[in-house]
Amino acid sequence: TMSLHGKRKEIYKYEAPWTVYAMNWSVRPDKRFRLALGSFVEEYNNKVQLVGLDEESSEFICRNTFDHPYPTTKLMWIPDTKGVYPDLLATSGDYLRVWRVGETETRLECLLNNNKNSDFCAPLTSFDWNEVDPYLLGTSSIDTTCTIWGLETGQVLGRVNLVSGHVKTQLIAHDKEVYDIAFSRAGGGRDMFASVGADGSVRMFDLRHLEHSTIIYEDPQHHPLLRLCWNKQDPNYLATMAMDGMEVVILDVRVPCTPVARLNNHRACVNGIAWAPHSSCHICTAADDHQALIWDIQQMPRAIEDPILAYTAEGEINNVQWASTQPDWIAICYNNCLEILRV
What are the tens digits of pLDDT across the range 249-265?
Answer: 999 999 988 999 999 99
- How far apart CA 50 and CA 305 sit, in angstroms, is 38
Bond prior to 301 in cis (omega within 30° of 0): yes
Tens of pLDDT, residue by residue over 219-254, are 999 999 999 999 999 999 999 999 999 999 999 999
Pairing of strands 291-296, 309-312: antiparallel
Note the pLDDT of residue 155. 67
- The C-alpha angle with vertex 331 and arms to 330 and 335, in degrees rounded to 5, equals 150
Q: State mean pLDDT over 70-76.
A: 97
Note the pLDDT of residue 165. 25
- How far apart CA 238 and CA 8 sit, in angstroms, is 34
Walk me through the domains of the chain, giving residue ranges and CATH numbers.
18-270 (2.130.10.10)
- Strand boundaries in 118-260, DSSP class E: 124-129, 136-141, 146-150, 155-160, 170-171, 178-183, 192-197, 201-206, 214-218, 225-230, 237-242, 248-252
104 in Cβ contact with 51 (< 8 Å)? no
Half-sphere exposure for 241 (CA within 13 Å, toward CB):
22
Given pLDDT bands bounded at 50, 70 and 90, which one contains residue 338?
A: very high
Nearest to 95 by CA among 130, 134, 121: 121
- How far apart CA 172 and CA 146 sit, in angstroms, is 9
Residues 6+ away with beta carbon under 8 Å from 147: 114, 138, 139, 141, 156, 158, 159
